[in-house]
Every structure is written in structure tokens, then in C-alpha cells.
Amino acid sequence: MIMEKKRVRLTVAYDGTNYHGWQIQNNGITIESELNRCLSDLLGEPVEVIGASRTDSGVHALENIAVFDTESPMPAEKISYALNQRLPEDIRIQRSEEVAADWHPRHCKSRKTYEYRIYRGEFPMPVRRLYAYFTYRSLCVEDMREAAAYLVGEHDFKSFCQTGAQVESTVRTIYLIEVEEQGVELVIRVCGNGFLYNMVRIIAGTLMEVGQGRRAPSDMPAILDAKDRRAAGPTAPAHGLTLMRYEFL
Amino acid sequence: MIMEKKRVRLTVAYDGTNYHGWQIQNNGITIESELNRCLSDLLGEPVEVIGASRTDSGVHALENIAVFDTESPMPAEKISYALNQRLPEDIRIQRSEEVAADWHPRHCKSRKTYEYRIYRGEFPMPVRRLYAYFTYRSLCVEDMREAAAYLVGEHDFKSFCQTGAQVESTVRTIYLIEVEEQGVELVIRVCGNGFLYNMVRIIAGTLMEVGQGRRAPSDMPAILDAKDRRAAGPTAPAHGLTLMRYEFL
């Protein structure tokens, strides 16, 4: 009996609070390890997913992408329902569908949108503590917007890449950055063709320094030109970050 | 040495997920028990708070109210800062202030606003699982609005009160009910002078049945007139409910 193999794409949402990030690690449960465990269990064969964005510990996602190959006769569209029965409730498949056998989530053009959320108040708000970074400092939103505008376009974002990351090129394109006020929360929304390690969190940390008046918006070109991580601001904490959307072009 | 006694009012925010509600119980940690423990520890004297709304297990609050008496010389306004250092991070005092010695949060006129949140989608969204009730059923928002309008004003809400609750009167005034769409979430916002046990959750459960077409908006007057819990819909799950605002008139 010849089993037909197919490649299945999953759209995966998760609350990153209780995970050691996406990628499999020796010392903790990850989104990838939970997907592999539950898929292997469901389909009765060893399954290993390939993820699109290997988000850090504490980072959330409404739409991350994973693919895997299977010989199971289960229709690709049904896998979402069956898999959600086995996954812990802080991981939920939003969609499952068959894709071409050679489709790879990191080898095709895509556009990703991240949001970094900041809760501004005198005291933290418990129901937002896991999803927005708390600050009691006042932030000048106009200055943050002016600074953000310098990052739009194709640039070498080496200054906004965690040192130690191994990548061929540190050039990326940012299509859009918005700094949006939603009541007491401030949302930094960044859409680009790809992001370096910790790039959105370093952008958020740098824009917050601008908002506090510790840097001028007009400092941004020099930060980019430095191509040195030390030129940019701190890496903002992980829990404020959410991967919102993944679009394949 | 004569110690001067003062009454202090706390505005308390919490994530209800990990608590057995507000009120002290033998079998679990509650918001009230945590406040008493941390206040007694901070002020060096036994403290017992009086709460305004004794929310159920799983219900959240941005603004609940508690008062207590103390002989501590610590200025009332400073207590918020010091107490937040001791409280677990899912409880945060938003304000502390001195009030008249006879001020009691349940013996004065007030206006409370609750929100019941519904997440509508094919699958649950992990980051919203603790703060919004998930449903895959489609809901007719217009019908829910039409039904809600019947509840505005002074009514006997006995049909919307959990049986077994001991209250002198089941007459309450609802100033406003809104059914607001916020993207995929639906917010039922209810503002009133007081609420019976489970009243907002029974209103939410009944409005969801209307939204599903299982009841007509025009059934609402008969539900009120019945003065019988069995006439209304089910009690919607606790985690969708948040006490948003407390105003003293």
C-alpha cells in the first residue's frame, strides 16, 4: 500500500506566557515541542513541524505559521479541529490547509506584522500584565512617531539585532510603523518583510527612550548608520510583543 | 499615647483567574484574604477590609472598592505604593485615600459599570481565553440591542437573580446597556445602581440566546414579569465578566 504524503500548513495562535518560546529546547516546554507531541499523537507517526517565526519566551502570537509532512489520510482542513482537542488551551490552531510539497515558510516572500504594547499608568493593571509592558513614565507619542518614520524602508538594521545572532544579511525592509494610542495603551505596530533577532523589541526599547526625551527623533539615522547594537536602546521585555499577522506574497 | 484612627478607601484592580472570588472562604485564596494578609503585614496590626462588590471566582476588576480602619501613621495616599510591593502581581491597588470614619462602600449611592466580553471566532484565541467568553455561534447584534433596551430603567430583576441569594429587594435600576462590537469581540456594557447575585452574567446569557435566535427580543418583558429565575437564560461563564468602574454619587 502506497501512502500519499502531503504537506500541511498550520496557522498557530498562542499565549507565550507559559512557554520557553517557539523553538525546541532541552530545559523547557515550547510551542514547537507541544505541536510535535500532539501531532505525532494524533496522526500516529512521528511529526516535526517547521516554524516560520521562532518567537522568544513570553512572546505571544495570533498568527504564527508551521508546516509538516504527513502520510495520514486525515483531510488537512480537519486537522485544526482534532489537534485543538489535544493541545493545551493556551495554544490553538486557527487554520490547517494543504500546501505544495516544497512550500517552506522561511523560503518564501512574506510580510509580518508585530505589535508591541505599552500600558501607561501610575500602577500596573493586573489583567494586562501579561500582554503589555507597564510604564509609569510619560511618553511623547509625537516624538516616537517622528523617530519611527526614520526606520521605514530598506535599511541595514544591524544596530537593531541582538549580538550573537548569525544571519547572512542584516538588511530588511519595514513597510510601516505606526504608534497608535488606544486609551491608556500605546501600540507600536511594525510591518516588514522579515525581522532580525529581537529587532522589534529593540525598536520598541529605542522608541521608548525617544518618548522619554532621552534621545531625539533625529538621532535615528545615526543609530542605523552605526551598525552596532550598542548604538540603539534596550531590548523591551518580551511579554509586550505579539506576532499579529503573517501574509505570504 | 493616643493613636488616631482613620478609614482608608482602596481602589483595587485584579485578575480573578487565580482566586476563589472576592470573599474570604475556607477552601481557597481570595482577593479579600490577600488584602487582609498584606495590609496586616504592612501596617503591623490586624486589618479586615470591607468590600463593595463581592465578585465571583474568575471575575476580573479594574476598579473594585474596599475600606479599612487603621491606627497606622502611614499617610493614606502612600499605602497604595507600599501595599503593591507586598501583593501578588495579579492584584494591584490603583488608589488609596482617607475617607470619613462612617463611610461604607455598600451603604452609599453608587453607579457600577460591568462589561461582559464575548470572543466570536471559529476557534478560541489563547491570549483572550481568560478575559472573554468564546463562542463559534453567530450572534445577531441588532436583536441583542433590541432585547437589552427592555432592561433599562427601574425593574424587579428577580428573574435575573441566582436563586438562593438573600436580598431585601430585587428591584434595581439599570441606567444603560450597550452591546458594542470591538472587532471580533462583542462587549455587553451594563451600568446600574446595583446588581443582584449573578445578574450581569444572567443578562449576558439571556442576550446571547436572543443573539442566537433562540428567544425574541420581545420576550424580555415577559421574562422580567415572571420574577422567576427559570424564565431567563443561563448564567454566562465568570471569566467574561469585568467590573470596570465604581462611581459614588
Would you kindly state where each structural domain of chain B is located, as residue ranges?
Answer: 6-99, 110-248
pLDDT, residue A2, reads: 63
Q: What distance in Å separates residue B99's CA from the closest CA in chain A? A: 21
Q: Please judge whether A123 and B80 are an interchain contact, meaning their C-beta atoms are less than 8 angstroms apart.
A: yes
pLDDT classification of B72: cutoffs 50, 70, 90:
very high
CATH architecture group of domain A111-248? 2-Layer Sandwich (3.30)
Q: What distance in Å separates residue A91's CA from the closest CA in chain B? A: 6
Q: Please judge whether B90 and A14 are an interchain contact, meaning their C-beta atoms are less than 8 angstroms apart.
A: no
Q: Which residues of A touch B240 (CB under 8 A)?
A: none
pLDDT, residue B2, reads: 64
Phi-psi region of B184 (alpha: psi -120 to 50; beta: other; left: phi over 0): alpha
- Name the residues of B annotated as catalytic: 56
pLDDT, residue A168, reads: 86
- The residue of chain A nearest to residue B242, with distances taken between CA atoms, is A127
Q: What distance in Å separates residue B40's CA from the closest CA in chain A? A: 21
Tell how strand B171-182 and strand B185-192 pair up: antiparallel
pLDDT, residue A40, reads: 97
Show the beta-strand stretches assigned E in B71-130: 91-99, 110-120
Report d(CA B173, CA B156) in Å as an integer. Answer: 9
Q: Do domains A6-99 and A111-248 have the same CATH topology?
A: yes
H-assigned helices in chain A: 31-43, 76-86, 141-149, 199-211, 220-226
DSSP state of A194: -
Model's pTM, two decimal places?
0.95
Q: Is the pLDDT of residue B89 over 90?
A: yes
Question: Chain B interface, mutation test: which of A123, A241, A244, most B Cβ atoms within 10 Å?
Answer: A123
Tell me the per-residue pLDDT of B24-38, one tens digit each, with 9 for 90 and over. Answer: 988 899 999 999 999
Tell how strand B110-120 and strand B133-135 pair up: parallel
Cβ under 8 Å to A: B residues 11-70: 13-15, 60, 62
Average pLDDT along chain B: 96
Report d(CA B140, CA B153) in Å as an integer. Answer: 23
Angle at CA of residue A235, ends B93 and A220, nearest 5°: 115
Question: Chain A interface, mutation test: which of B92, B136, B243, most A Cβ atoms within 10 Å?
Answer: B92
pLDDT, residue A165, reads: 73
Q: Which residues of B touch A92 (CB under 8 A)?
A: 123-126
The beta-carbon neighbor of B126 closest among A15, A127, A129 is A15
Tell me the per-residue pLDDT of B107-141, one tens digit each, with 9 for 90 and over. Answer: 989 999 999 999 999 999 999 999 999 999 999 99
CB A40 within 8 A of CB A46: yes
H or E element at residue B142: helix B141-149
Q: What distance in Å separates residue A28's CA from the closest CA in chain B? A: 20
Angle at CA of residue B53, ends B49 and B54, nearest 5°: 80
pLDDT, residue B209, reads: 98
Q: Please judge whether A94 and B123 are an interchain contact, meaning their C-beta atoms are less than 8 angstroms apart.
A: yes
pLDDT classification of B1: cutoffs 50, 70, 90:
low
Q: Please judge whether B90 and A126 are an interchain contact, meaning their C-beta atoms are less than 8 angstroms apart.
A: yes
Tell me the per-residue pLDDT of B167-203, one tens digit each, with 9 for 90 and over. Answer: 889 999 999 999 999 999 999 999 999 999 999 999 9
Q: Which residues of B touch A126 (CB under 8 A)?
A: 13-15, 60, 89-92
pLDDT, residue B4, reads: 84
CATH architecture group of domain B6-99? 2-Layer Sandwich (3.30)
Q: What distance in Å separates residue A12's CA from the closest CA in chain B? A: 10
The beta-carbon neighbor of A127 closest among B15, B84, B125 is B15
Classify domain B110-248 at the CATH topology level: Alpha-Beta Plaits (3.30.70)
Q: Which residues of A touch B90 (CB under 8 A)?
A: 126, 129
Taking alpha carbons only, the member of B54, B49, B65, B68 closest to residue B12 is B65
The beta-carbon neighbor of A14 closest among B15, B80, B126 is B126
The beta-carbon neighbor of B62 closest among A89, A125, A242 is A125
Residues of chain A with pLDDT under 70: 1-2
Residue B5: partners with Cβ closer than 8 Å, 6 or more residues away: B69, B70, B71, B101
